[in-house]
Amino acid sequence: MTSLSGARIRAVLVKEFRQYRRNKFILYTMVVLPVLFLVAPITTILNLPSTAPEVRVRAAVGSIFLLMLLIPVIVPVAISAYSVIGERDQGTLEPVLTTPIRREELVLGKALASIIPGVALSYLLFAVIMTVLRVVGHPNVVHALWQGSWLVAEVLFAPLLAAWSTWIGTAISARSSDVRVAQQLGTLASLPALAVTSLMTFQVLSPTVPVALIVAGVLVVIDVAALRVVSRLFDRERLITGARATRAAAPPPHDS
């Protein structure tokens, strides 16, 4: 198998980003929820008294991380759920499929266009929260936040969760016949991935660096498997007609 073309993946990515830029509605819906997520944890932490017990502080910090990890789940799935069915509705999918682009290149281009905004927003908000709390937070809260395990978890989990929700959204989009259904189903179907990370945020698993790395490893395995499944769904015939190709077992001979 020859290697994938970075130029084609980039072409898809650039096209998707241009479309986001031109569609303010997409940008606003991308940003509104994360901004709300920004307000809630900061308020919670700032309202913690300096004498709050450690258990309470840890619980508050855990809930902050859960919110931060919701962003890379929710933002990409909303975008990716539209990626195939939206293009099919607009009539733009077929011309793309008549070009030499491979299905893996199309999948990766569209996936990156969903993953990058989700991860970027997640990192940005995380940086803002950490900065604000570092500047104005109580020392015991700052100490609980600035733990290596949480930093590793945020850095690793955000892209992995974003990838998972992107695969789910894309798979549903490729099989769906309605954009709204695809987006609703996609959001619901991507939430179970949070269960893995919730084990850490709710202190079921002790939030240490090794545990974060193990959980990240599990997510990597899930993501790779999902990528393979989604790539198969990007069969041209399936995308055009909604059904898989059927070839006769033994084509009849023809006089030439």
Partner 1 sequence: MSRRWFVRRRVGFGVRPVTWQGWAITAVALGLMVVALLVVRRPLGAPSVLVIAAVYVAVGYATGGRSRPGASPAPPESSGLPARGTPDAPTPVAPATLARVAREATSRAGDLAGRDAAIEVVGLTKCFGERDAFRDVSFRVAVGEVFGFLGPNGAGKTTLVRTLSTLLAPTSGSATVAGLSLGEDHGEAIRQRIAVMTESPGLYGRLSVRENLEFFAGLYQMSDARVRIDRALESVNLAGRAGDPCASLSKGLRQRVGLARTLLNDPAIIFLDEPTSGLDPVATREVLELIGGLRERGVTIFLTTHRLDEAERLCDRVAILNTTLRIVGDTDELRRQLFERSLEVATATPLADPAALFTAIPGVGSWRASGDGRYVLETTEPRETAPRVARALVAAGADVESLAESRHSLEDVYLQLIDDDTGVSA
Return residues touching partner 1 (CB under 8 A). 5, 7-8, 10-12, 14-15, 18-19, 22-23, 90-102, 127, 131, 134-135, 236-237, 240-241, 243, 245-248, 251-252, 254, 256
Q: Which is nearer to partner 1, 214 or 240 (CB)?
A: 240
Nearest to 190 by CA among 214, 226, 156: 226
Residue 207 and residue 214: Cα distance in Å, rounded?
A: 11
Minimum gap (Å) between residue 161 Cβ and partner 1: 23
Q: Are 92 and 61 in contact (CB under 8 A)?
A: no
Q: Which residues contact 121 (CB under 8 A, 6 or more apart)?
A: 30, 31, 34, 71, 72, 75
Minimum gap (Å) between residue 107 Cβ and partner 1: 14
Q: Which is nearer to partner 1, 12 or 160 (CB)?
A: 12
CA 3, chain centre distance (Å)? 25
Residue 58 and residue 61: Cα distance in Å, rounded?
A: 5
Nearest to 220 by CA among 193, 187, 186: 193
Token pair in block for residue 160: 């992995």
Q: Which is nearer to partner 1, 55 or 253 (CB)?
A: 253
Q: Which is nearer to partner 1, 51 or 98 (CB)?
A: 98
Q: Which is nearer to partner 1, 18 or 56 (CB)?
A: 18
Q: Which is nearer to partner 1, 8 or 165 (CB)?
A: 8
Minimum gap (Å) between residue 148 Cβ and partner 1: 17
Residue 205: C-alpha distances to residues 101, 146, 195, 221 (Å): 44, 18, 12, 20
Minimum gap (Å) between residue 222 Cβ and partner 1: 29
Q: Please count the CA atoms within 13 angstroms of the CA of 11 that sit on its side-chain side.
A: 12
H/E element, 177? none
Minimum gap (Å) between residue 16 Cβ and partner 1: 10
Minimum gap (Å) between residue 98 Cβ and partner 1: 4
